[in-house]
């Protein structure tokens, strides 16, 4: 079973690092730095499917992948590479969330709506047909996080959380701030109040709540609000800040 999925069901906050550089070296450094998890950001980072595959081999099957968009074929490619945890951005409705939940899973008695295409015998996820139990266990191994990043998503949050096959909801603070009219002010009180309220509602639904903040105090606050899947750093931000600090001395 995916160890990240198992750990996320426990009463502990797991803190991770966003990988956006597209560098195998930075992924290797981050993977050994002590984070609970790492996420390949294929929405904004410099990634194609080959770069994702390279980093997956370095970081391991617990690496998360944020796909660029809510498209079934993108999820299929990521899962066939052997990743278990997929984050899908910009999910505004329960209907979108349901489509993604179906794309994550093979059709089965437990999940007959599954739409994931079967090619297990020729892909990395099964060890190229070495894992004889892959097809039977794949649906239990995977986990889906959908991102609520707009005012519309917050309006539909309970319905999104209620979708079978959605394991958690991850708040996207920057896009949410823009959607609420605060493009240049992530710190605005209405934005932070909306995030706090959303985290409470996700936790109340029984789903795993996720969020992102590179500010240590705010990250601690989100954990207190119930976030269990918490991004606290990115390779891009850390490298940029460190180089600028050194150059300015």
Q: What is the pLDDT of residue 41?
A: 97
Q: How confident is the model at residue 1 (pLDDT cuts 50, 70, 90)?
A: very low
The 8-class DSSP code of residue 32 comes to T
Average pLDDT, the chain: 95
pLDDT tens, position by position, 41-87: 999 998 999 999 999 999 987 899 999 999 999 999 999 999 999 99
Decide if 228 contacts 12 (C-beta within 8 A). Answer: yes
Which of 209, 221, 220, 228 minimizes the C-alpha distance to 157?
209
Q: What percent of the chain has pLDDT above 90? A: 93
Q: How far is CA 68 from CA 42, 46, 74, 171, 178, in A?
A: 6, 11, 8, 16, 19
Q: What is the pLDDT of residue 99?
A: 98
Tell me how far apart the alpha carbons of residues 4 and 99 are, in angstroms, rounded to a whole number: 23
Q: What percent of the chain has pLDDT above 70? A: 99
Q: What is the pLDDT of residue 27?
A: 94
pLDDT greater at residue 61 or residue 127: 127
Q: What is the pLDDT of residue 10?
A: 84
pTM, rounded to two decimals: 0.95
Q: What is the pLDDT of residue 62?
A: 83
Decide if 161 contacts 201 (C-beta within 8 A). Answer: yes
Residue range 154-165: mean pLDDT, rounded: 98
Residues annotated as part of the active site: 44
Query: Cα Rg for the chain, rounded, in angstroms?
Result: 18
pLDDT score of 3 more than 80 = no
End-to-end alpha-carbon separation of the chain, Å?
Answer: 48
The 8-class DSSP code of residue 127 comes to T
Q: What is the pLDDT of residue 60?
A: 86
Question: Domains of the chain by range and CATH?
Answer: 3-248 (3.20.20.60)
Q: How confident is the model at residue 164 (pLDDT cuts 50, 70, 90)?
A: very high
pLDDT score of 2 more than 80 = no
pLDDT score of 249 more than 70 = yes
pLDDT score of 157 more than 90 = yes
Q: What is the pLDDT of residue 5?
A: 85
Q: How confident is the model at residue 184 (pLDDT cuts 50, 70, 90)?
A: confident
Helix/strand/coil for 156:
coil
């Amino acid at each position: 079973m995916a160890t990240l999925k198992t750990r996320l069901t426990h009463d502990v906050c797991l803190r991770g690092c966003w990988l956006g550089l597209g560098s195998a070296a930075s992924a290797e450094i981050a993977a050994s730095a002590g984070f609970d998890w790492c996420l390949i950001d294929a929405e904004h980072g410099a990634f194609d499917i080959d770069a994702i595959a390279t980093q997956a081999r370095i970081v391991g099957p617990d690496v998360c992948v944020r796909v660029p968009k809510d498209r079934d074929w993108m999820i299929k490619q990521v899962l066939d590479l052997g990743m278990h945890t997929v984050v899908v951005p910009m999910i505004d409705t329960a209907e979108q969330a349901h489509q993604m939940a179906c794309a994550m899973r093979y059709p089965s008695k437990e999940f007959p709506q599954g739409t994931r295409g079967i090619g297990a015998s020729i892909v990395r996820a099964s060890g190229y047909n070495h894992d004889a139990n892959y097809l039977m266990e794949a649906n239990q191994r995977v986990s889906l996080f959908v991102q609520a990043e707009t005012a519309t998503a917050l309006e539909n949050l309970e319905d999104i959380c209620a979708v079978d096959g959605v394991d958690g909801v991850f708040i996207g603070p920057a896009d949410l701030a823009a959607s609420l009219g605060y493009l240049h002010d992530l710190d605005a009180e209405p934005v932070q109040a909306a995030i706090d309220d959303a985290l409470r509602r996700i936790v109340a639904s029984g789903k795993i709540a996720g969020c992102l903040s590179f500010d240590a105090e705010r990250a601690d606050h989100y954990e207190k609000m119930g976030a269990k899947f918490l991004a606290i750093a990115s390779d891009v931000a850390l490298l940029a800040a460190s180089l600028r600090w050194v150059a300015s001395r």
